[in-house]
Amino acid sequence: MDHQPESSVSQDRLLAARRFTLPWVLWVFGLSTTLLLVGLWGRAVVADTDTVARSTEAALSTEVVTDRVYDWIGDGLAASVGITDAEADQVLREVEAYPEAVTAIDTLIESVVAALIAPPGQDTTIDVAAALMPLVPGVVTELEAAGLAVPSGQVERAVGSLDPVELDAGEAVSVGVVTEQAQSVLTLGVLIAAAMLALSGAGAVALSEERWPTLRSLLTRIAFSALSFVVLFRLGGWVLDPDGGRSPLRRSGAILVESNLGMFLAIGVSAASLALVIWLVRRPARRRIAVAGVVPTGQDEETSTQELVSV
């Protein structure tokens, strides 16, 4: 009975072990790629104060803020000027159309957003009276149109009596606190994912029969994953807010999802460029091997693998 040489048996066992291990290493590499890309994107988003501010501002319902503001002014007019609540509501409904009113509401919303995204421990005061003082001439005009002769100084005192709103970012879980905590967690996740990616990538190259083509394949995987995330996140933003701002919360989420997609593009283009460089550098070597009729490195192992599979 013929026996295979001991070296051949060991080589076959080693090859079988490599063939069994490589798919699992590639799976870890793919998982690490996803975790790293998502972690980098998430960290970029929470560090982007402009995006966080726009998302927070979108989440604030303008109608709710407007109603609350005019309730404050109406209560002040009723208490200081002596008009009824119905008369105050009628006057303020007309004032809402004034450009000064729109500007005042926008200023208040910006102040609230700035307070929400402020760093932990920073006290923020919203001067409601100062923001609404430009509305005084319009209120006086509409009071006169309604047949209510009220001095402008009296209206100014009514608006100026509105108390400022003080917010302590250290006592409440504000957006600034959440983003700071998220940034710390995401940084740790990015480091772990990067380590997993490096180890699994190095393991895949070491286990493969042709290392340069494997490295090029891994870079191509990263490129396609990054470009796929661009399409996925862009589509996700549209799914969240297909009507373009009808729902404040959905619009807020869409702003976050659609932001910082350039990071995916940069990673995808970089990985694809490196893969192309490897292909261009290795191409002349493959041509020389083909012309010389030399068997490429790893061909013997591949042949042995094919024979092992066919047995």
Q: DSSP state, 35?
A: H
Say if CB 218 and CB 29 are below 8 A apart. Answer: yes
Q: Is 166 helix (H, G, I), strand (E, B) or coil?
A: strand
Instruction: Render pLDDT for 262-287 as a digit per residue (tens, 0 to 9).
Output: 999 999 999 999 999 998 887 765 55
Say if CB 81 and CB 149 are below 8 A apart. Answer: no
More confident: 293 or 203 = 203
CA 68 to chain centre: 31
Say if CB 282 and CB 212 are below 8 A apart. Answer: yes
Token pair in block for residue 70: 């005019």
The predicted pLDDT at position 37 comes to 95
Q: Which of 45-49, 188-192, 240-244 bottoms out in mean pLDDT, i.e. has the lowest?
A: 240-244
Q: DSSP state, 159?
A: H
In sign, the C-alpha dihedral spanning 131, 134, 137, 141 is negative
The predicted pLDDT at position 308 comes to 31
Classify 82 in phi/psi space as left (phi over 0), alpha (psi -120 to 50) or beta.
left
Classify 296 in phi/psi space as left (phi over 0), alpha (psi -120 to 50) or beta.
beta
The predicted pLDDT at position 226 comes to 95
Query: Which residues, in sequence order, are CB contacts of 299 under 8 Å at separation 6+?
Result: none
- pLDDT band for 84, please (50, 70, 90 cuts): confident
Instruction: Render pLDDT for 168-217 as a digit per residue (tens, 0 to 9).
Output: 555 444 666 777 788 889 999 999 999 999 999 999 998 887 888 899 99
- pLDDT band for 163, please (50, 70, 90 cuts): confident
Query: Which residues, in sequence order, are CB contacts of 62 under 8 Å at separation 6+?
Result: 105, 109
